[in-house]
Homo-oligomer: A and B are copies of this chain.
Amino acid sequence: MRILLTNDDGIFAEGLCALHDALCGEHQVIIVAPEAERSAVGHAITIADPLRVRKIKRNNIFFGYAVSGTPADCVKLALYEIVNGKVDLVLSGINRGANVGINVLYSGTVSAATEGAILGYPSIAVSLNEYLEPDYCFAAYFTSCLIEFLAKNGFPKNICLNVNIPAIPAHQIKGIKCVRQSTKPLIEKFEKRIDPHGNIYYWQCSEKFIEEDPDTDVVALKEGFITITPLYHNLTSFEILAKIKSWNIEF
C-alpha cells in the first residue's frame, strides 16, 4: 500500500517515527507532517499565509516533507501537490496522549485523518494514552495489524477510524472495543497567575472526564480496551433537524 503518514506532534516526533518504522518494510510510507508541534489545533487550516515545504533527512536518508502549517494543511497539500498519484490510506499519529471524547474536536491528529476522509481516502488516527513517558512499540505493532486486517476486509468509505491504545503492558490489554465518541464536557480549570511585570494571565489546566457510559471511547479506553470509533464529518443533529423544520420564525 501507499500510505500518507502525518501527525500533529511534528515530523520529528517519536510516535510518527515508530509508525514509519513499523510500516516501511511492507508499505510505501510517504511522510508529510508539520515542521513543529501543532497539538490541539483542531481542524485549523492556513488560508491567509503561504505554506512552505522542506525535505527532511533522518540518519542521512530522505525521511519526509515538513510543512509550515497545520495537520489538515499537510494532508491537503500532500494530496493536491506533493504525492504523485493517489494513496491507499491517510494515517495520522501516533499521538502522544489519547484523543477521546470532546478532545476529538480539538485534536490535530484526528483532524488530519478526518481531512483524509473528507477528500475520499480511507483514513486512520492513532493515539497512545500516555503523555509523559510514551512507549510506542505496541501501538505501532497494533496499527500494522489493523492495516493488514483492513487491507483484507475493506476500509469503510469516507470514514476516519479513530483508534486509541491504552499505555499498559500488551498482555493486560482487555481487547478491542468499537465504541461511540463521548460527548460529555470536560471538567476544566484556568489558573490565574501574575507575570513578572505584574500582569494577569490565565493557563488552561486539569482536564477531567465525567463520562460513565462503558460504550464510549472515554470509558472503554480507561478500562484497558483498545478503542475504535468510526468518525464521519457531519455535525448535523438529524433528530433536532426533524423537529425544527416546523418552526415559524417571523422577520
Q: Which residue of B lies closest to A120 (CB)?
A: B185
CB <8 Å contact, A46 and B105:
no
CB <8 Å contact, B231 and A237:
yes
Is the C-beta of A104 less than 8 angstroms from some C-beta in chain B? yes
Q: How far is the CA of A244 from the CA of B229 in the complex (A)?
A: 9
- Kindly list chain B residues whose C-beta atoms are within 8 Å of the C-beta of A62: none
Q: How far is the CA of A118 from the CA of B183 in the complex (A)?
A: 8
Is the C-beta of A17 less than 8 angstroms from some C-beta in chain B? no
Query: Hey, what's the 0/1 contact readout for A166-188 against B, CB within 8 Å counting as 1?
Result: 00000000001011110101001
Q: How far is the CB of A29 from chain B (nearest CB, A)?
A: 20
Is the C-beta of A60 less than 8 angstroms from some C-beta in chain B? no
CB <8 Å contact, A235 and B232:
yes
Interface footprint category on A: 35 or more
- Kindly list chain B residues whose C-beta atoms are within 8 Å of the C-beta of A176: 247, 249
Residue contacts A-B, CB under 8 angstroms, 18 given: A42-B45, A42-B111, A51-B190, A76-B188, A77-B202, A81-B190, A102-B118, A105-B111, A105-B114, A105-B235, A159-B240, A181-B235, A183-B232, A183-B234, A228-B247, A230-B240, A232-B235, A234-B235
Q: Which residue of B lies closest to A230 (CB)?
A: B240
Q: How far is the CB of A206 from chain B (nearest CB, A)?
A: 11
CB <8 Å contact, B181 and A106:
no
